[in-house]
A = this chain, B = another copy of it.
Amino acid sequence: MGKLLIVGTVAFDAIETPFGKTDKILGGAATFIGLAASQFDVDSAIVSVVGEDFPQEYLDLLTDRNIDISALEIVKGGKTFFWKGKYQNDLNSRETLITDLNVLANFNPVVPDDFKDAEVVMLGNLHPSIQLSVINQLKKRPRRIILDTMNFWMDNTWDELQEVIKHIDVLTINDEEARQLTQEYSLVKAAQKIYGMGPKYVVIKKGEHGALLFHKEQIFFAPALPLEEVFDPTGAGDTFAGGFAGYLAASDDSSFNNMKKAVIHGSNLASFSVEKFGTERMLSLEHKEIKDRLHQFKKLTQFDIELQ
């Protein structure tokens, strides 16, 4: 069993999709990452911040899944980070309606002593200075530091983002962001440019079109499972990252072959996440369902071809 340190938002989300809308429900990158990673044999801890308005029931959901929340700061009198968004009809584009940073505005992450030697560190989408602060608090170099980010930080904190990217092993990013970060349209060329910034591995997330893993000259592709119903894409990328990081922390194997498996596990868990609003599907998820869907992934992608 490995240690996984997770940094990211714990939040309230309000979501509107063509299929319905929610009031404030449990959300945040670290939440989705933690729930996905808890499917593996890991000791994980979340470094984050919430306000006094954050319900005990949500904290219990995390501790019930063996997630250490001793470094989840609860700010007295503070309000939890709130995001409200609306998806268009095709679910591929969304509009942010409200972003209330609240307690996140003055967040100083403190890594718990027990996790300063974590094998895997998953830096969820956040201000790059917070991500860097976490790296600086570590006692030893983790086996893998994985960083997720988005276009907002490229637009507003370019230098800080470049600085933290120097220190990581794996960058996870979506296709449009990879193009923005590198000014390369070809994802193959984009990955090569990102190697030059620091990371040895690049994961490019393409949403319903799957995910690509790049390492040196090697490329691996995992599709998204074609689904009859996609209900709410919120948290799918974080669930992917959590499955990826959780699998890597649980296994003591740094080979490319094992990274491929981590991508499949991440894609598999993300395929559940989108089936209901927010964290709902992840909270009801059973081991047998995960296993059955891994079988579906194999059927979807595996073939045998003669190479004369």
Contacts and interface: CB of A to CB of B under 8 A. Distances in A.
Interface in A15-44: none
A221 B222 CA distance: 10
A226 B230 contact: no
Contact of A295 (B226, B304, B307): B307
A212 B223 CA distance: 10
Interface string A267-308: 000000000000000000000000100110111111111011
A304 B210 CA distance: 18
A188 B226 contact: yes
A188 B303 CA distance: 20
A303 B230 contact: no
B305 A230 contact: no
A121 to B, nearest CB: 24
Nearest to A204: B226
Contacts of A219: 226, 299-300
A92 to B, nearest CB: 10
A220 interface: yes
Given A301-B301, A303-B261, A210 B223 contact: yes
A179 to B, nearest CB: 9
Contacts of A302: 301-303
Interface centre among A187, A209, A230 (most CB of B within 10 A): A209
B300 A305 contact: no
A228 interface: yes
Contact of A209 (B90, B209, B229, B307): B209
Given A209-B209, A300-B220, A305-B261, A188 B294 contact: no
**Per DSSP, are chain A's interface residues mostly helix, strand or loop, or mixed?**
mixed
Given A261-B303, A303-B261, A307-B295, A188 B218 contact: no
* Interface size bracket, A side: 35 or more
Contact of A221 (B90, B261, B294, B301): B301
A229 B184 CA distance: 11
Given A209-B206, A291-B308, A308-B291, A303 B220 contact: yes
19 contacts: A89-B185, A188-B226, A188-B227, A209-B209, A218-B299, A219-B226, A219-B299, A220-B300, A220-B301, A221-B226, A257-B304, A261-B303, A261-B304, A291-B307, A294-B305, A297-B305, A298-B305, A298-B307, A301-B303
Interface of A: 89-90, 185-189, 206, 209-210, 212, 218-221, 223, 226-230, 257, 260-261, 264-265, 291, 294-295, 297-305, 307-308
Given A260-B303, A297-B305, 15 more contacts: A186-B228, A188-B228, A209-B209, A210-B223, A218-B299, A219-B226, A219-B300, A220-B299, A221-B301, A257-B303, A264-B305, A265-B305, A291-B307, A295-B307, A301-B301
